[in-house]
Structure formats: structure tokens, C-alpha cells
Amino acid sequence: MQKERDKSLPHVVIVGAGFGGLVAATALARAPVRITIIDRNNHHLFQPLLYQVATAGLSPADIAAPVRHIIGRERNVSVLLGAVTGVDPASKAVLVGDRRLSYDWLILATGATHAYPKPAWSAVAPGLKSIEDATAIRAKILLAFEHAEASNDPVEQRRLMTFVIVGGGPTGVEMAGAIAEIAKRALAREFKNIDPRSARILLVEGAERLLTAFPPELSDYAARTLRRLGVDVRLGDFAATIDEDGIELAGERIPAATVIWAAGVKASPAADWLGAEADRAGRVQVTDRLTAPSHPDIFVVGDTAAVYDANGNLVPGIAPAAKQMGKHAAETIKARLYGSAEPGPFRYRHMGNLATIGRSSAVIHYGRLRLRGWLAWMIWGVAHVWFLIGFRNKLVVMADWFWAYHTFKKGMRLITGGDNGPRASSSR
């Protein structure tokens, strides 16, 4: 029943099966190493499309595939479902529950999670990082309309049909646009006691424009497009308090049943594990080879590493950056194994920024290219489907989008949940 791998080969342990970890594993597959890739989830998640699960456009299985299925057939790759709780660099071991896993090389690609200025906000303003987050937000949005339909109190109906998104980056813009489309189109004619089109959607951004990573003209386009969709875009404004009943902006209290947090992330605890220096968001300050200081056998890649480009700007927490870092770490390990020339310091190549706003509208910035509107939206769609892992998912996502585009329907409007979940109780 047991199959043995050659235990004499050096052991590369990769923690995290996001973009960085998966690319590193792929680049090392078939090299003379044993690889163990550990994740607390059994699936790799295509995070750029997670907002579509949260807004009933896609199913979880459309954007997630088992890590084991993606990479587990490689002869030298083991996949381990487990929670890493620490690293012991002195004895070169990773702690997974009550197990210790020895490594020769370690790649930490543990990603980032939501960051809230006040811890209490996390309970009332969910963020969007996992499948569970997405299905919980989907249920919250759909239940708000259901409860408004069942209510006869106009003040409560108004509160239920008010949706506030905090944070005007790509996730915030995408969520605001998608919620507006649900309210104005998908649900429009299915209620008797309320008119979903009267829903109020606010997008709150502390800076003076949305999408600050883009040129100002594209930020303005995004704000104009959202306003045309009926979204109330508030710039230079911020959340003073968030609680069960709603949100207080600078000087204005807005009763709202649904507040979604898209305003900031912090790195995973990798820096704590290593006792390494971290920046304000908890990212490990790595060397130019992406290794932890004083640990040349430990690489840190992706959202949990603080890496700077040639201009001294922080490399953004996006998929292409994580993939480039994962590849670079793997190539460095291979060079050291083979004794060949190392790839040298990591250099980030920016592949551009993309964000979608709604049906037929997106923005793209790549070097001098600045695109907006329908063409940008088509490119956004093709690019995202292209990078989806797994052929089945690509086909199904395209079919779902084609169907949704032509019917204005959102097919995944399920409210589900466990014992703690948002599901209503019992009649059948």
C-alpha cells in the first residue's frame, strides 16, 4: 500500500498552494528533489475571480481545483493537507499540527488575509479571501433582499437594501459593480413587496480616486461607470465605525445590513515564524534572492514577502507577481542543486493592471496602453479564463459568462451554510 520515494534526494517543502507556491512546485517537478506542498485547503483558488462567486456569477468549483489534481501526479510531488503552525530554522523543520517535517529547502508562499483597523469590524464587515468568505457574502447579499421582501417596515427595508463596500481597489470596484447588476438586473422582476432596483450601493474610498494603481483617467472612468450603474461613489471618505446596524462615515451615519471589507490586507504570520523583520503589513523583508535574511535556504514569495521593483516601489500583491517570485525561487534552488549559474537578484516585470467594473466595462493599464470599455472587458475576460487552471473550468466559466451576458441572469444564487451559517430555518 505504501509507495516509497527516494529519501536520499533533497527535500523541498512549499507552504501554500496559491499562485507562488504552485508555480514553484511546477518549476521543481522532475528536478532531482522530493517536493512536499502543504496547504490548509485541498484546493488552489483562482482569487481574481472570487468576487464572481460572492456575487452569484460563478460556482466555487469553477474557480478552484484540488491541489492534488493539479500537481499530485508528478512523481516527486507530495501534497499534504494541513495547517502549518511554525518553522524551526535551527533544526530545518516545519511544524504541521503535531508533526515535524524536515526540509532542505523551504519556500513560504502563505499569502495574505484581511486587515481591519479595529478587530471587531471583522465580525460585521466580511472580507473576500476564501471560498467560505465568498459563499458567506453571497448568502448575506441574497438574504438582505429576502428579508426586505418579508418586512413591512420601510425603514428596515431601506437598511436591508443598503450595501456598503469599503475600499476602492479592484476588489471593491468589482464588488460594487456586480452588486449593482444583481439589484438592477438579475433580481429586478422577482419580488412583489420590494423593488430591488431601488437598492442603495455605496463604494467608500479614502483616497481622492478609485483604483489608485491605475492612471487617473481610468480611475475617473471607473467612477463614472459605477455612478451610471447607480453606485454612490464616495471618495476621500472613510469608515469611522462599523457595527451590526451599519456604518458611520466621516460625519454621516448610514444604516446598512451589508458592509463588505475590501480596504486592506496583512501578510500571513510567516515573519513571526521566522522571527524576521517585517514591514507594517507584516510582509517579510527578504533579500534580493527572495530569501529570509540569514536563512539562505528559506525563500519567501508572493503576498507575504516585501519585494521592491527597480524604482523602489513595493511589488503589488497580484497573481503575476507571486508567480514570478515562485519561479525565481525554484530556479535559484535548481541552480544551487546543479551548481550552475544562479538567476541572480529578482526583478519584477510588471504585466499591467486589469480591473472589471461591470458588464461590458473594464480598465487595462499596461505601459503606455490605457484601455477602457467593451474591448478592455473582453481582454479582461479572455485573460482570466486563459489563466484559469483546469480545462473543464475554462469551458464552464465561458459557458456561464456567455449565458449570463445574454440573459442578464445570475445562475448561482444559492443561500447555503452550516450550523453557524446564514441559512434560514425549517419548513422542508
The whole-angstrom separation of Cα 187 and Cα 263 is 27
8: its cell numbers: 536520499
CA–CA distance, 29 with 37 (Å, rounded to integer): 11
| Residue 66 binds to its own copies (criterion: CB under 8 A) | yes
By CB under 8 A, the residues from 30 to 59 that bind its own copies are: 38-43, 59
Shortest Å distance, C-beta 363 to its own copies = 29
**Nearer Cβ to its own copies, position 178 or 249?**
178
Q: Which stretch binds its own copies (CB under 8 A): 144-152, 172-180, 276-284, 312-320?
A: 144-152
Q: Is 8 in the site for its own copies (CB under 8 A)?
A: no
Question: Taking the complex as a whole, how short is the minimal distance between the CB of residue 136 and its own copies, in angstroms?
Answer: 8
Burial category of 156 from C-beta neighbours within 10 Å (exposed 0-12, middle 13-18, buried 19 and up): middle
Report in angstroms how near the CB of residue 324 gets to its own copies at its nearest.
Answer: 18
Q: Do 149 and 192 form a contact (C-beta atoms < 8 A)?
A: yes
Nearest to 202 by CA among 226, 184, 171, 220: 226
Return the beta strands (E) in 334-391 as ranges: 353-358, 361-366, 369-373
Footprint of its own copies on 271-330 (CB under 8 A): none
Among 22, 79, 318, 363, binds its own copies (CB under 8 A): 79
**Among the listed residues 49, 136, 265, 325, the single contact to its own copies using CB under 8 A:** 136
Q: Residue 196: CB partners within 8 Å, gap ≥ 6?
A: 145, 161, 182, 183, 184, 187, 188, 190
* Cα–Cα distance measured from residue 383 to residue 388, given in angstroms and rounded to the nearest whole number: 9
Give every CB contact of residue 25 below 8 A, 6+ residues apart in sequence. Answer: 14, 17, 35, 37, 71, 74, 77, 330
Q: Which of these is catalytic: 4, 149, 174, 181?
A: 174
Q: How many CB atoms lie within 10 A of CB 157?
A: 20
Shortest distance, position 150 Cβ to its own copies, whole Å: 6
- How near is the Cβ of 373 to its own copies at its closest, in Å? 27
Among 26, 135, 258, 332, binds its own copies (CB under 8 A): 135
Q: How far is the CB of 58 from its own copies (least distance, A)?
A: 9
Cβ atoms < 10 Å from Cβ of 42: 14
Residue 85 binds its own copies (CB under 8 A): yes
Stretch that binds its own copies, among 209-217, 308-316, 377-385, 417-425 (CB under 8 A): 417-425
Nine cell digits for residue 281 = 503589513
Task: Determine the 3-state secondary structure of 125 from DSSP.
Answer: coil
Mapping DSSP to helix (H, G, I), strand (E, B) and coil, where does residue 190 land?
A: coil
For residues 151 to 190, the per-residue mask of contacts with its own copies, x marking binding by CB under 8 A and - elsewhere, is: ---x--x-----------------------------x-xx
Please indicate whether residue 74 is annotated as part of the active site.
no
Q: List binders of its own copies among 363-392 (CB under 8 A).
A: 390, 392
Residue selected from 104, 132, 220, 342 as contacting its own copies according to rule CB under 8 A: 132
Judged by CB under 8 A, the number of residues near its own copies is 87
Which residues, 189 to 248, sit near its own copies by CB under 8 A? 189-195, 198
**Of 96 and 222, which has the nearer Cβ to its own copies?**
96
Q: Are 86 and 95 in contact (CB under 8 A)?
A: yes
Minimum CB separation from its own copies for residue 251, in Å? Answer: 27
Q: Any idea which residues carry the catalytic annotation? A: 174
